[in-house]
Amino acid sequence: MAYIFDEPSRTFSEYLLVPGYSSDKCLVSNVKLTTPLVKFKKGEESSIKLNIPLVSAIMQSVSGEKMGIALAREGGCSFIFGSQPIEKQAEMVRKVKAFKAGFVPSDSNLSEEDTLKDILQLKEKSGHSTVAITQDGSQHGKLLGVVTSRDYRISRMSLDTKIKEFMTPFSKLIYAKDGVTLSQANDILWDNKLNALPVVDENQRLKYFVFRKDYDTHKDNPNELLDQNKSYIVGAGINTRDYEDRIPALIDAGCDVLCIDSSEGFSQWQKNTLSFVREKYGDSVKIGAGNIVDREGFRFLAEAGADFIKVGIGGGSICITRETKGIGRGQATAMIEVAKARDEYFKETGIYIPICSDGGIVHDYHMTLALAMGADFLMLGRYFARFDESPTQRINVNGSYMKEYWGEGSARARNWQRYDLGGDKKLSFVEGVDSYVPYAGSLHNGVLQSLNKVKSTMCNCGALTLDELKSKAKLTVVSSTSIVEGGAHDVVLKENRTNN
């Protein structure tokens, strides 16, 4: 007969943290959320660390280039969805890497023969008010001038006015020569009260812009996740079918870390994909794998060469894998067992492989529970889909603002590769739904509030780092009646009334 686990499969909602001693140093401002993203050897440090323990799910409705930029700005990492053509995914990665490099390639360019109408259309499309005017209208053409919103007045100019009639010509521009350091460029910006500084080569060809707002943004976002070139760190999802073509394209685009996107990772297909990466790139390319829910699955992927391992099957808010196939495990139970397996592996080999909790996060306090149970970081879909920076549009549904959110296994996404079992190249039945989530505004404000809750709870446990939380946390299973007790009860709640 089948093997039957002794313990029931539990969710995060079935646990509470028991407070520990809090010293006078246990202040939210003292809590650090730095955590490893990829594996490392004992005595060494991870080559990629997150400044906050959050990454965005590999989903069409969650992780595009805007999410990649916004989340890296907060200190996390986005995994650009892979259920799209290779070229489009690689281009998204390039946009994230180019956005915050200190020296930013210009993506708003026109020629001097274009018109004010072209300027306005480009501004609407890109959202950028600084437009480089080059001889051929290309990104790296000979720079002839620059147009900003200060160079024209729509109410007093014809839309047919040629750009050469109102641009600031090169002769009047303050610029820097290629080779200038970022520190020197910022000094020029500040000394001359500029918003943008073009950088040109010896032939006057445009190389980059340095923007004043990027300096300000960095000061306002000290947790920014940057590589050694001051570019945002970004990840990308891959599948086990076209990886031989997709991975080189993503690496060429500048991708920092890959992740195999699959509903179930305990498979030969994932091992083949990991073997390809190790044979072609050695350890220089970082790649996560999953998803798994037990010790055996962890050991399999660890020995296959995964840099991190995702835990969770069927716990996502839009996932119906458990309902359709009867496969999965309660997220809390899965996390606890896999965390023990990770620690055992570390003791045996001296190699620490971070684990990612993927799914099952309903409330903010579930984040802290997952981290206390051993997760090094969390992958979130529904949570991030609610924000302005997700790829979907904000819409009004019955008087409330919503954002669309659909699963990769839904009929809408048709991401058959994620559920691939080596058969026909199609989605035989759906394992995800198409839905709405309540709109939640900007990612910055939402993440700030959620992580303040995490930090506050860590202080209650006497922990100032995630490692301390793992070692000091005390968890208790709760009964159904104690869950009721934890909410508002035995009172008559006041209604929110608006006086007209």
pLDDT reading at 415 higher than 70: no
107-157: per-residue pLDDT in tens? Answer: 899 999 999 999 999 988 777 889 999 999 999 999 999 999 999 999 899
For the range 115-122, what are the long-range contacts, defined as Cβ-Cβ under 8 Å and sequence gap of 24 or more? 115/159, 115/160, 115/161, 115/162, 115/163, 116/152, 116/154, 116/157, 116/158, 116/159, 116/160, 116/161, 116/163, 116/166, 117/159, 117/160, 118/163, 119/147, 119/152, 119/163, 120/154, 120/159
179: left (phi over 0), alpha (psi -120 to 50) or beta: left
Write down the pTM of the prediction: 0.80
Residue 285: per-residue pLDDT: 98
What is the helix (H) or strand (E) element at residue 87, kind and residue range? helix 86-99
Residues listed for the chain = 500
Enter the tokens of residue 165.
Answer: 């009639």
| φ, ψ dihedrals at 226, nearest 5° | -120, 150
Beta strand pairing status for 77-80 and 54-56? parallel
Q: Which residue in the list 259, 319, 356, 459 is annotated as catalytic? A: 319
Which amino acid, 352?
Answer: Y
> For all residues of the chain together, what is the average pLDDT?
91
316 confidence band (pLDDT: 50, 70, 90): confident
Residue 475: per-residue pLDDT: 97
485 confidence band (pLDDT: 50, 70, 90): confident
Q: Which residue in the list 10, 246, 418, 461 is annotated as catalytic? A: 418
244-255: per-residue pLDDT in tens? Answer: 999 999 999 999
Lowest-confidence segment of 40-49, 395-404, 465-474 by average pLDDT: 395-404
Give catalytic status of residue 319 as yes or no: yes
Residue 172: per-residue pLDDT: 95
pLDDT reading at 396 higher than 70: yes
CA–CA gap between residue 309 and residue 298 (Å, rounded): 7
Q: Residue 104: how many CA atoms within 13 Å on its side-chain side?
A: 22
Lowest-confidence segment of 50-54, 56-60, 189-193, 432-436 by average pLDDT: 432-436
